[in-house]
């Protein structure tokens, strides 16, 4: 009885340990037409199945090109890189298992990190991400919600060997050289309304960003998304004063007469459709708690639950 799998690049054997993991072996079908299909799916030249040939269920089909070059020093092709990066993204432990136990000469995780460092990740709008999304499923990626937030970063300047420049200064993605050290990072991210996915599309290194400049950046992001067939339904942000001022400049009325209804939408800069503004609920609850505590309307012991 054979003890090996006949599939290409499969090193599994008929052992008790593999059977305990749910790996089972099956003989090739006796039907000639069905057996021929199995032989073609193996992607092995001049292979003919015998009565004792075995194959694992779910072995790599012919259309999955995973013939990595085992010789050291060879460059991996684009398909090989995408396969390795995707496999490591889905599970580093599974990637390590396949690299150590199978005949797939997968690159070392340090090599994957070097590949990712070579991706253009400079501040500004990531057009590579937008181009990739616009060529995918329109039903899944065509309708999104845009989120933006500013976070504090440590002041630090260091040399970047990839682009041979100093990083850590204010950078708005326009190529202008600034001398001020950045203290904040403004990040834009889109979240799919159809399907569970999200992707950052832009970030800017800033020091003190005015509402006018932030409005220009938001309008530019909306225009670039619309140019690629991606419709933005809402914009989510925290209740910072600069964000409220920016929304009012876009056409909202978030600080009007308390007796008048709020205007929580503004026209899209390209299409004119309504884009609704949604303040982050968690941040708004914190602002309400701080207001009650500062105004001494409610004692701190009752605010502890908030």
Instruction: Return the domain boundaries, the chain.
Output: 16-116, 124-303
Q: Is it the case that residue 187 has pLDDT exceeding 80?
A: yes
- Closest C-alpha among 182, 180, 178, 179 to residue 204: 182
Output the pLDDT for position 3.
58
Report the alpha-carbon distance of residue 29 to residue 27 in Å, rounded.
6
Answer whether 212's CB lies under 8 Å from 199's CB: no
Output the pLDDT for position 62.
43
Note the pLDDT tens digit of each residue in 102-133. 767 788 888 888 777 656 678 888 877 777 76
Structure tokens that stand for 176 in this block: 């202008």
- Closest C-alpha among 185, 189, 188, 187 to residue 207: 185
Structure tokens that stand for 56 in this block: 């694992």
Report the alpha-carbon distance of residue 86 to residue 219 in Å, rounded.
33
Answer whether 224's CB lies under 8 Å from 125's CB: yes
Instruction: Please name every residue paired with 158 in a beta bridge, in sequence order, or none if there are none.
Output: 167
Note the pLDDT tens digit of each residue in 148-158. 999 999 999 98
Confidence grade of residue 167 (pLDDT, cut at 50, 70, 90): confident
Radius of gyration of the chain (CA): 28
Instruction: Please name every residue paired with 205 in a beta bridge, in sequence order, or none if there are none.
Output: 171, 185
CA dihedral 120, 124, 128, 132 (to 10 degrees): 140
132 CA to centre of own chain: 11
Structure tokens that stand for 110 in this block: 């340090």
DSSP 59-90: ---TTS------STTPPP-HHHHHHHHHHHHH
Q: Is it the case that residue 252 has pLDDT exceeding 70?
A: yes
The pTM of the whole model exceeds 0.75 = no
Instruction: Please name every residue paired with 200 in a beta bridge, in sequence order, or none if there are none.
Output: 189
Confidence grade of residue 90 (pLDDT, cut at 50, 70, 90): confident
């Amino acid at each position: 009885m054979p003890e090996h799998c006949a599939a290409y690049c499969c090193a599994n054997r008929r052992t008790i340990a593999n059977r305990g993991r749910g790996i089972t072996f099956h003989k090739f079908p006796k039907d000639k037409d069905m057996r021929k299909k199995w032989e073609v799916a193996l992607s092995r030249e001049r292979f003919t199945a015998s009565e004792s040939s075995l194959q694992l269920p779910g072995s790599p089909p012919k259309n999955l090109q995973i013939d990595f070059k085992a010789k050291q020093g060879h460059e991996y092709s684009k398909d090989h890189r995408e396969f390795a990066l995707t496999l490591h993204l889905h599970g580093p432990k599974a990637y390590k298992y396949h690299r150590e136990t199978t005949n797939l000469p997968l690159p070392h995780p340090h090599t994957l990190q070097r590949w990712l460092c070579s991706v253009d990740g400079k501040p500004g709008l990531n057009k590579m991400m937008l181009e990739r999304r616009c060529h995918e499923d329109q039903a899944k990626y065509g309708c999104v919600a845009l989120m933006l937030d500013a976070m504090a970063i440590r002041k630090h300047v260091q040399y970047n060997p990839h682009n041979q420049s100093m990083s850590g200064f204010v950078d708005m993605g326009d190529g202008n050289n600034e001398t001020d050290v950045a203290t904040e990072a403004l990040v834009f991210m889109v979240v799919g309304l159809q399907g569970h996915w999200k992707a950052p599309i832009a970030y800017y290194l800033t020091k003190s960003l005015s509402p006018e400049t932030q409005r220009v950046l938001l309008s530019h992001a909306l225009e670039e998304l619309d140019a690629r067939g991606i419709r933005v339904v809402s914009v989510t942000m925290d209740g910072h004063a600069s964000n409220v001022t920016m929304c009012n400049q876009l056409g909202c009325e978030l600080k009007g007469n308390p007796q008048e209804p709020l205007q929580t939408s503004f026209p899209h800069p390209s299409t004119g459709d309504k884009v609704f503004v949604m303040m982050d609920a968690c941040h708004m609850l914190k602002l309400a708690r701080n207001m009650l505590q500062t105004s001494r309307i409610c004692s701190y012991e009752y605010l502890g639950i908030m």
